[in-house]
A and B are shown apart, each in its own frame.
Chain A
């Protein structure tokens, strides 16, 4: 098991390194960071001053390895855009995004698993069809549109929820729903398929013969096995919530990592983009690893050597 974890950790590091190199090159070659930082009406003198202040006039490879050396020492550099230590900046923004991602995942679980169960209990019934229609619609709706529709309904017409910002838990209700809704279809269908498959197995027939019916049967016997693949998907979905937060955080003016990523990319803030990409890549790989480990813990039949 330890070997497996070490292998996966090494893989995570390799992925993060490749991604960081590609990002650094793209940001430096696709655009001129000095003029991006200076803004639209900046005079050439100001652009040149910024170029020299931040050392953009030096070879890009030299700067990349300097950055990498800093990272190895735990120094992620200073943000050009925010004039702040990148690590501090990210730590300040992370709690909001973690809260948003976890609430979104809760929304997904609370909606998708019961819907999947209802659909599985009565396959091909009207309830199943309705759940499926809901799932397909949720998948088809772009998150920024859903966000704006919710804002109009719950923020402007009713109005019962705050529209933008992140200063109270109420601010997270709409964004968590928007971010969570996009994962509902995948999780719901997987729950449904898993349950239908499990419900046809021998041990369930035995449980039925003992008198278990309906949700008692699901809860006591079927769920644990049916949810194995769902757990893996949820772990990966949590990783995607961090990436998905870019749009949701912008629509709802939430000051988290997603918005920071967007601002940094638009502002060519290389150190911040580097660190965020590094973190997002790491989260993805770690979530995959977590999914495997969770599966192993939930199912004694799965053993990783």
Chain B
């Protein structure tokens, strides 16, 4: 009896003293959990996906890419005009203010871009932008001219995605360079401003009342957003069930399915631009006479993998099998190229014709999604290849690949959420990248040519030619597209976009 009393008392006391910040409509606060730590808030100095999600809330770009149509929409810029092939003139709105109340002018934009491409900035977009942007010039208060080094078709895309605009002289304090000046308290232009930030723990944002009207992001429905790092997905799940958080993402399929049916939780599955694929050492970098230098062997491996089952059972949600070395939603990703249907018998025949009737030993490297790696290895074994699966950390795989020690690996690529084949083609088929195991110079030429012209039809044609070569030569075994699983508070509306980037500003209460 005493025991029962004690338990009851403890429960009552506990309830009285514990006042966990309950998530939900009541205080109009969207509580979000990330597995990743957020260490700084300046997207000009970060790369990971979580930072894109946050930059979307705090910052604005000159243009916004419509996730459904892939069209560039004016954001803080009203429009752009090519004065000549190497000069783009951008007009700015005159009613945009930073979170400190200061008006946005052309000087801020020119300063930001000139700083980004300055090697002294050591900014993350710097090396990429410096390949095409020479300088940014102030014409008048609301006009900026971007001078290009060469004709670069993705210039508007780059102006629409990668650089967060900061007030003039943000990174120059009292004449000194301060690269992390915006790391903790960035002054942005976006719909939310930073209230408090504890790196690695918690970011508190509130709606910025001075946010400009008619922005592509629209009027944000929720007043406050709190982003916390909770490294364990099980703990996140428990927080969601007890009302401690409203939103979690990148949830493993089995975890997401395990809470389906609970009234307080909704499971959403959305597309992702990330694709997975097997890269084969066709160039013979690891073994000049190895079996992978034989086209029939590579074609056999393409017939061997049951991608549909991997998509359905191992990735789930909206995942789809692919036969292209790009995401079908990306510009230039022509799906009419050769497909190798799943047929292990054809695979075995091709291997025999290639002179490997008894197969051959193969080191297959992988760094994520072990279940997919094992399924692919098992499928290769079914046509007689003796696979040694080397499942390692990403950094180890990168290092081994740089040393040309990898005959085949399972790669994945998210294209930074950008729906253009350039984002996956260049890094994998440019002659200078160690990811290029094809050794095909023609392919490199095509991929580079597609980035050297602004003629979109020509770009499409060049990509089709490049993708056709990749498919005919079977340089890759394309696998599947990914999907992203979300678990959210059932009182929340959360629209999903085709590019897979979660846009927290579009969330609203039911």
Is A31 a contact of B399 with CB atoms below 8 Å? yes
* Mask of A139-182 contacts with B, CB within 8 angstroms, 1/0: 00000000010011011101111111100101000000000000
Would A253 and B231 count as touching, CB distance under 8 A?
A: yes
Contact B232 A253 (CB under 8 A): yes
Residue pairs across A and B with CB atoms within 8 Å: the count is 122
Complex contacts, B181 vs chain A, CB 8 Å:
none
A185 at the interface (CB under 8 A from B): no
A255-292 with Cβ < 8 A to chain B: 255, 259, 262-263, 268
B394 and A148 contacting across the interface, CB-CB below 8 Å: no
Give the CA-CA distance A152 to B240 in the complex, in Å. 12
Chain B interface residue count: which class?
A: 35 or more
Complex interface: chain B residues within 8 A of A30 (CB): 396
Q: Which of A45, A163, A262 contacts B127 (CB 8 A)?
A: A45
- Could you tell me if B238 and A32 are in contact, using CB atoms closer than 8 angstroms? no
* CB contact between B17 and one of A42, A43, A49, A170 (< 8 Å): that residue: A170
Interface centre among A32, A49, A156, A164 (most CB of B within 10 A): A164
Most buried by B among A46, A170, A253: A253
Question: Which B-chain residue is minimally distant from A268 (CB atoms)?
Answer: B395
Cβ–Cβ contact A35 & B238, under 8 A = no
Interface positions, chain B 218-232, Cβ under 8 Å from A, are 228-232
Are B127 and A160 in contact, CB atoms less than 8 angstroms apart? no
User: In the complex, which residues of chain A have a beta carbon less than 8 angstroms from the beta carbon of B493?
Assistant: none
| B11 interface contact, C-beta 8 A | yes
Whether B47 and A41, one on each chain, are in contact in the complex, defined by CB atoms closer than 8 angstroms, is: yes
Question: CB < 8 Å: which of B228, B238, B414, B432 contacts A155?
Answer: B238
Give the residues from 233 to 253 in chain A that come closer than 8 angstroms, CB to CB, to chain B: 250-253
Q: Which residues of A are found within 8 Å of B433, using beta-carbon distances?
A: 44
A-chain residues with CB within 8 Å of residue B235 when the two chains form the complex: 148, 151, 163-164, 251-253
Q: Is the CB of A161 within 8 A of B238?
A: no
Measured in the bound complex, the distance between the Cα atoms of B14 and A152 in whole Å is 15
Residue of B nearest to A45 (CB): B127
A155 touches B242 (CB 8 A): yes
> B460 to chain A: closest CB distance in Å?
24
B14 & A160 in contact (Cβ 8 Å cutoff): yes
| Alpha-carbon separation in the docked complex, A46 to B228 (Å) | 27
- The residue of chain B having its C-beta at the shortest distance from the C-beta of A37 within the complex is B395
Beta-carbon contact of A160 and B232 below 8 Å? no
CB-CB under 8 A from B427, the residues of chain A are 43-44
- B487, chain A: closest CB distance, angstroms: 14
Which 6 residue pairs spanning A and B have beta carbons closest together? A160-B14, A45-B127, A31-B395, A36-B395, A35-B398, A32-B399
